[in-house]
Structures are given as C-alpha cells and as structure tokens.
Chains A and B, each alone.
Chain A
Amino acid sequence: MKMKFSIYRYNPDTDKKPRMQDYELEIEEGSDMMVLDALLALKDQDPTLSFRRSCREGVCGSDGVNMNGKNGLACITPLSDLKGSKVVIRPLPGLPVIRDLVVDMAQFYRQYEKVRPYLINNDEPPAREHLQSPKDRAKLDGLYECILCACCSTSCPSFWWNPDKFVGPSGLLQAYRFLIDSRDTETQSRLADLDDAYSVFRCRGIMNCVDVCPKGLNPTQAIGHIRSMLLQQGV
C-alpha cells in the first residue's frame, strides 16, 4: 500500500518561504507504524528532511508536530489514527521555524522559566528529607507527568496571540504543580507572580490543550484551580 505524505519544508539557507513537499511511502498491507517511523523512512529517501526525535516512546517530548491539523507526538501516533488520503505533517503552530519540522522553543521555555518550576522551601532544612503524606503526594498526579513537548501551548489561540505575556497551558500546569505541593513555602509569591490580566486570565477555556495532550493531562483544570486560589487570596 502506498501512503502519501505532505510535509512542511523550510531550509533557512536556500528557501525564502516554506513550502509543502509530497512524499510516498510503501507500507506493507495490513501493517501499521508510528508517524515517527514513517518520518525516519522518508528521511532515508530524502536525507535533507529535518525533525527532532530522541526516545521514540513518548517520554522525551522532542517530536511534537502537527499531524493532519492536530498536535501530537509523532512517536506514539499510529498512521492508522490519521484519517484522510494524505498525511499532512507541519511544525508546531505559532513558534518560529528553524528548519522543516524543527521549531524554536525559546518563547515556550521562557514562560516555563517564569513559573519557577522547582520546589522552594524556606523552612529550616530537615535532617533527611521533606516528608509528604500520600494524600498530599496524590495531589501532584496529573501534573508532574508533563514532558514539555509544547503540543498544548502551540495549539492554544491565547498563546499564539500572546506568547510573551500568557504563560500558556504547559507553564500553568507546572505552576499549579508547585502551588499545590505541600512542601513548597512560596505559594503566596507564586500566586502574586501570576496575578495580572495576562499570565493566567488569558485562558478562555478553549480546551485545545486538553484535546491534544499526548499524556492525557488537563491544563484547563489546573488553570481553573489557579484561578480559584487567586480568587480566594483576593477576598
């Protein structure tokens, strides 16, 4: 079975503008493969095709791309999941393209840095470690699993229009992960950092983030919790 692909190409040294290039791949009848395997096979045909990948099992978060209009990880998206006669692969939307499917993630990481994504505890250091009850630990489930692939933030219209001011779904999920951590003592200053018209409140509940997250996480819900915390602090 011949499968058709249309892939976004841009080479900064030779191209003025990006273009779509068609490819064909022979796939054994009745078999399936991940989009990343298809991309690697296409790279054998055309070694100039560039994309990021590393662990090839949905853990490292490097191969986030837009497949048939939806963001996801190429390594854990089977070709059979993509409907239509042609598989269209484009880079993650909204971020500057360095080359082909490789985007510049600097804006995304800058928002991540802003939320101080590390535990801060200003109490006297304990003799061994900061203890946490299983109940408090359970509050981090659904938050700590984020792999920073940027699928969510680059599917979010609020992030497209304000990538410098809106923290974005990924950053806010991480922000909540530390706001709710019982061992963190900087809750108040973390909330104060987010208390403006853009950082959190540019979220309009569009839920594209939840729709695309390859780890099945829910940034919309985390943002809702941050809003409630900000509200509680305000009254």
Chain B
Amino acid sequence: MKIISVAFKNLRRKKIRTGLTIGGVAIAVAVLVSLMGFDAGYQKSLTNDIDKMGYQVLVTAKGCPYEAATLMLKGGGGLRYMEQEVYDKITKDPRIEKITPQLAATEFDKDRQNGQGGIILYMGVSDSYRELKPWSKFKSGKWFSGEDADEVIIGYEAAELEQRSAGDQIFIPNLNKTLKVVGIFERTGTQDDGIVFMPLKTAQRIFDLPGKLSGIGIKLKNIGQMSDFEESLYNEPGIQVISMAQVKGTIFNLVSSSRAMTNSIAFIAILIAVIGVINTILMSVFERTKEIGVMKAIGASRLDIFRIIWLETTLICILGGVLGDIIAILGTSIVEQIIRKVLPYAPVGKLVIITPSLLLGSFIGAVVMGLAAGIYPAYRASSMRPVEAIRSGE
C-alpha cells in the first residue's frame, strides 16, 4: 500500500461529492481549452479565408465598410452596386497586376435546407477571376463556354448540398430561369465553396443589373504602393477602397474585444472551481478529524498528513483536467456551432483548433491549480494536534 492509495480510497468514500468537484474543475478546464482553441482556430481560418481571396484590395460601392467587409467576405460584394465605368477607368492603372470585376446577387430559395429555405449566393465573374485564384481547380467539368452563356459553375459545398454534378440543370425559381451546370470546383476551404458562379454578363442580364458591379478585386504589382493606390481612388465618387489587411485587422479587433470578456469568464470559472475544491477538501478534513488524529497517533508525521490531503486535492484536479480536456475535444463541434451563430463573421475553416500542446498545457494548469488549492486544507489537517483530534466529540 502506498500513501497515494490512502488518498485515492478516501476520495471514493464520497463519490457524489468527489464527482461534483471533479466536474467543476473539468468544466473550468473545458471552457478554457475551448476558448484558447477558438483563439487559435479563428485566427488561422480567418487568415486562410482572406489570403485565399487572391486580391489585396477590393473596390466597392460606398457604404458601411464593416458591412461591406463582412458581406464581401461572404461573397465578394457589398450588395451595393456601382457602375462598370469605374472598372474601365481603373483597369488601366499601371500599378495593377491583376484585376477582376464581380457582381454578387442573392436569391431566396424556399426549397433549400430541407424546406426551411435559404439564401443562395450567385456571383458573376469574368475570365480574369481565375487568374486571381490560380489554386481553383475543377472537380469536374470546365469553365464557361462564353461570356454570356446561360451556364453556372458550382462551389464544392453548394454542389454537395444541392446534389448537382456537371451536366445538370439548375432552376432559379424567383427569376424563372434555368441554367446549365458546366463545372464543379474542388474544395478550397473558403467561402467560395458555397457560391454559384456564372459569367458576369449573364449575371447582369438575368438579375436585371445591366452595367453594374458589386466589387472589383485587385492585386497590385507591389503591395508597398497600397496607400498610394488607395489615395488615387479617394476622389472617385460613390466608391470605397478596402484593403484586405484592414479587413483582417478590423475583424481581429472585433473578436479580441469580446475575447477579453470570454477570458474573464474562463478566469471566473477557474476561480469558482478552485474555491469548490478547497471547500470540498476542507470539509472532508474536518469530517475526518478523528481519523487524522489516529493516523498521527500511530506514527504519521505532519508531512505524512500534509501529503495525503495534498494528494487528494491534486488527484481531483488531475481527474478534472483529463475530463475537461475530453469534454473540450468532444464539445468542439457544439462550441463551433454556438460561435458561428454569435459571431458577425465566421470563416469557413475549423473555428476551434485544439492542439496537443494546448491539452498538455491545460492539464499542467489543472495540476498546478490542485497543488495550490491543496495547500491550505493540507496545512489545516497537518497541524491538528493528535490528542485533541482523537478526543474531539467526546
């Protein structure tokens, strides 16, 4: 028999109490791991999303820049429209390496999502779109046959959702229009996966937006000319220039301000867990006054008693830490769903990334927490005087 089994057997004496205390620690650890995992995952996914847009600058119609940024990330347009002349004007700028006009439009489809209805995002693009996104590959099919063809190419996820493959027809009920599916894109891990693409001119025609654009994506020859370029467009009426770096920064700021609050919630959860552990152990120490007294009478030193109680506390926190890590891993998808509903903009990739080092760190944190929480109860137990402890209650 070892000291640790004395501690362990005592924890099993009050299973419900021990279980609840372990649960408290587990929840605190799970909250912490999820939040930190979200931190890492969100940044990574957002960066991936933005980098894969292929352009550094977006020109859109004037409007709320945040709204524009959000909508644009969802599909390349602020859904405010500008004249195509703007494109014709700036396309000759020598600082531009690549440029592509876009026209985004949305339609509600009542049959989507098992009859709940949902919004489908359509995007009119020109051949230059592919130049900006050289990683875009076809899973099947090919590019449009002409710049005014009644054809669509569907993003990977949209195709899966709608069960479409190349050669099928799709019908847009509100416009009473049927289009032919000529291709399906491979998965890109970005918002593009959910979009139905068509030639720009087709989009302008069927959505009745002749000569309109919702956005212009631009890649500069030299990113250092960014502010210079922005300034030159400043006087153009009705448009605004958004740099993707800014968008990224804005979204990060939005997220990090709410992060301060969630972190304090995690901190409070941990504090409550620690107090719970101290309370439980202290209660169990007082209940066992006689037992502790008799252990001293049969030869236990202060250190022996201290170790037993300290081990009990640490065992609770170790078990809580392991359980918390498991909950965090299992709960990732639930946390993702909740966050997606709450966040103004959620990237496509994994929002919560739980790494082994995060799990290890949280586990070590739980152990340290146990060691800290155990000090006072262990001290109280070890400083009981044997005769008073044994004779208590007589």
A and B part of one assembly: no
Q: Which residues of A contact B (CB under 8 A)?
A: none
What is B's interface to A at a CB cutoff of 8 Å? Answer: none
